[in-house]
């Protein structure tokens, strides 16, 4: 079965602190993993995908197949990072399975 | 470049009725996916359309159906509405070459009373 788990519904950090949003998945094949973000009053948008191996807005995410994880990290959180973050998985087909999301709040 | 637009933004229906939601894909995109997002949950994949054909379907009953038109716009139809159909319905478009990079609309909020 294809499943994405984001264990934290809420995460709060202070500005300048490191942040890690957890994502675990279950999938029997080779998945493609994504992080989507939704800022306040904006639409859902792609933040990054694992095959791009890039850093977007200071965020990085590494696919760990052994631990079946795709955690999102940023060394120094900013207030503008406050948003809802969704981890998503796509397998061989064209469907995209999303986790329930983590609301990140960065306090000044 | 025009983004993904959805209409209407809000809709109220009663149980048993039928509803049609509309989506215009981003300029240059030929693939449309529909999602249902219940309160406090992530989006759930309903189905995808490519070149006017269904190109993948999630775990939704047949009363959820769709169409894609030659201009790549799309409709989501839901028959025999149930209370649990109350949700935000999201449309996302993509290009077949990078089909998994999806651009989302703002959604239609459906309330079933």
SS3 A86: strand
Quick one: pLDDT at residue B113?
96
Distance CA A82, CA B45 (A): 26
Sort out which chain B residues have CB atoms less than 8 A from A88's CB and list them. Answer: 42
What is the SS3 assignment for chain B?
CCCCEEECCEEEECCCCCEEEEEECCCCCCEEEEEEECCCCCCEEEEEEECCEEEEECCCCCCEEEEECCCCCEEEEECCCCHHHCEEEEEEEECHHHCCCCEECCCEEEEEC
Q: How far is A72 from chain B (nearest CA, A)?
A: 17
- Residue A33 pLDDT exceeds 90: yes
Sort out which chain B residues have CB atoms less than 8 A from A95's CB and list them. Answer: 45, 48, 56-58
pLDDT tens track for A49-108: 988 878 889 999 989 989 999 999 999 999 999 999 999 999 877 788 999 999 999 999
Judge residue B40's burial from the number of C-beta atoms within 10 Å of its C-beta, 0-12 exposed, 13-18 middle, 19 or more buried: exposed
Quick one: pLDDT at residue B97?
67
Quick one: pLDDT at residue A23?
97
B41, B56, B103 member nearest A95 (Cβ):
B56
Quick one: pLDDT at residue A62?
87
List, as ranges, residues 2-31 from B with C-beta within 8 Å of A: 4
- Residues in chain B predicted with pLDDT less than 50, given as ranges, are none
Quick one: pLDDT at residue B98?
66
Report the chain A residue with the minimal C-alpha distance to residue B54: A94
Quick one: pLDDT at residue A17?
98
Q: Does B88 touch chain A (CB under 8 A)?
A: no
Quick one: pLDDT at residue B1?
55
Quick one: pLDDT at residue B95?
85
């Amino acid at each position: 079965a294809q499943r994405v788990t984001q264990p934290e519904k809420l995460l709060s950090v202070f500005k300048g602190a490191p942040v890690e949003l957890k994502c675990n998945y279950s999938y029997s094949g080779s998945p493609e993993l994504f992080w989507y973000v939704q800022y306040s009053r904006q639409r859902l948008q792609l933040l990054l995908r694992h095959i791009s191996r890039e850093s977007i807005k200071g965020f990085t995410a590494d696919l760990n197949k052994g631990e079946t994880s795709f955690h999102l990290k940023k060394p120094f959180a900013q207030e503008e990072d406050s948003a809802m973050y969704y981890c998503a998985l796509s397998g061989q087909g064209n469907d995209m399975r999303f986790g329930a999301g983590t609301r990140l709040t960065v306090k000044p | 470049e025009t983004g993904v637009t959805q209409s209407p933004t809000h809709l109220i229906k009663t149980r048993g009725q039928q509803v049609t939601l509309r989506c215009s894909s981003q300029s240059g995109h030929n693939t449309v996916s529909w999602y249902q997002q219940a309160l406090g949950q992530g989006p759930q994949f309903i189905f995808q359309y490519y070149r006017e054909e269904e190109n993948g379907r999630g775990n939704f009953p047949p009363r959820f159906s769709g169409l894609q038109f030659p201009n790549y716009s799309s409709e989501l139809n839901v028959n025999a509405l149930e209370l649990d159909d109350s949700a935000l319905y999201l449309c996302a478009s993509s290009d077949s070459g990078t089909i998994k990079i999806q651009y989302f609309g703002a959604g239609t909020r459906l309330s079933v009373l």
